[in-house]
Each structure stands twice: as structure tokens, then as C-alpha cells.
Structure 1
Amino acid sequence: MGLRGRKTYDNLDNTYFITTTVLGFRKVFAVHNLYYDILIDSLNFTRKKYSSYIIAYVLMPNHVHLILKMNESNSVSDYMRDFKRHTSTEVIKLLKRDKKVKLLNELYDLGGTGNYRLWKDRFDDLILTSEKTLKI
């Protein structure tokens, strides 16, 4: 189900510039390189699952930038849902293992769900249609 006011470009053969951010801008991935490894592993898994092509990515302490080429039979929303679901589960497990109590407490119910939440619900995306679009 789409969001109100959002145009449906989701199932087209497009290249996207995507940004997704940790709730509260917490610098979760700066804790240790293993947290970045989770992001990379999840990007690779999701790329294969959706037969997509990652052109570039930048991993920051509290967000991810991605240039992603989707094929026409797959949805960028589904891709991001699966990426965020997997990374959330794995990062929370690692935070618990590392006994990062303060950070866990900050992420607990931050989204009002009664659970740990890592990512904002939404992500920003821009369809890249030309070289000019890349320079924006």
C-alpha cells in the first residue's frame, strides 16, 4: 500500500539515490566495525535477493546513502523493507551482546512500538534520470 500523496514509480526499471537514517540520529554504526559489516552483508544479501545492482554506497555513523539500480520486476520499497528489517535485527542482537545498555535504552520504544527500533520508517529516494540529476 502506497503512502498518500506519493507517486508510484516503484516498479519501474529505475536507478535511485536512497538515504535511510537511524531513529534519533543515534550514531549506532560508529560503535565498532562489526556494525558496518552488518550493513554491508545486508546490502549484499538484499542485492542478490532482488537482482539489483549497487552502483555506490556510503555508510555513515547514523545513516546510509545508496545508489541502487532496480530491475523492473522488483520494488525499491520491498528492497528497503528487507534491508532495514535484517539490519535492525542483527544490530540489536550485537548491541545486546556488546552490552551497550545506554544505546539500547535510547533505541527502545523510540518509535512508539514497544520494541527496539533502529531505522526511521521512511527513506528518501530520488530517481536518477540523467547526469544532471546526479549533480543535485
Structure 2
Amino acid sequence: MIYLTRVEHFNAAHKLFNPHWSKEQNLEVFGKCANDNWHGHNYDLHVTVKGNPDPETGFVFNAKTLGVLIKDLIIEKMDHKNLNLDVDFMAGKFTSAENVAIAIWEQLEKALPETVQLHCIKLHETAKIYVEYFGGK
């Protein structure tokens, strides 16, 4: 089994808040991330697929094709957008890094051919914080 990772980058804004809580409780739990005027991140997205190399190409999956899929399905929809308001596949979801990673997985998983499997979504929200998602619920 070979693992191939493609790295992409996007910038996006969001706000962490629970509408069932008071403003004070949201600020206590989420701090600056609950700012009424939003806040932003420079995200680094690592998409890892796995499979066996094709005997004719030597590729598990064409890295350029993977890049096009990521750009079309994820980057074009998320880059310089508000995750809470502008991204169709985030509608009604809490925009934590964890939930963003799961939503990205869901978008990419259905677009990949059967010859390759999605292995991991690693999403760096800051230089010090990242999440990894390996599928499943």
C-alpha cells in the first residue's frame, strides 16, 4: 500500500459560537473565536490517498488530478470565504476545524475513483493546531 499526499492552502473566516448559549458563555468557551465580526485563518490542507501503484503509470493516483479535484471541490468553495455563510457543504454545521475536516472528507470521498481510497484529511488551522480525520463516525 502506498500513500500519496497533496498539500493545498486556503484562507477563510468563521466564527465559533453556539446559538443556544448566551454571548457570555460563548466568549467563555470560544474566546476571541466567538468574535461577532468573525476571524480568519490561513489553512493548510493535506489530503492523503492510498492504494497500489498502477502497473502502467506507477501512480497510486495522478497527483495533478488530485490537485484539480481538491481545487474544484474544496479550494474554490472555501478560499477567501466565510465558512459559516458562504460554503454550501458547511451550511448548518459548527465550523470547528474538526467539522471542517469531516466536511472536506465527505466532498472528496465521493469524487475519487474506486481504485484509490481516501486515507486522511489533515487540516492545519494555525501553526500550532491541526486536526486529522481518517473517516468513520
Q: TM-score, with normalisation over the residues of structure 1? A: 0.36
Q: TM-score, with normalisation over the residues of structure 2? A: 0.36
Identify the structure with bigger relative contact order (alpha carbons < 8 Å, sequence gap 6+): 1
Bigger fraction of residues in helix: 1
Q: Decide which structure has the larger Cα Rg and report it.
A: 2
Bigger fraction of residues in strand: 2
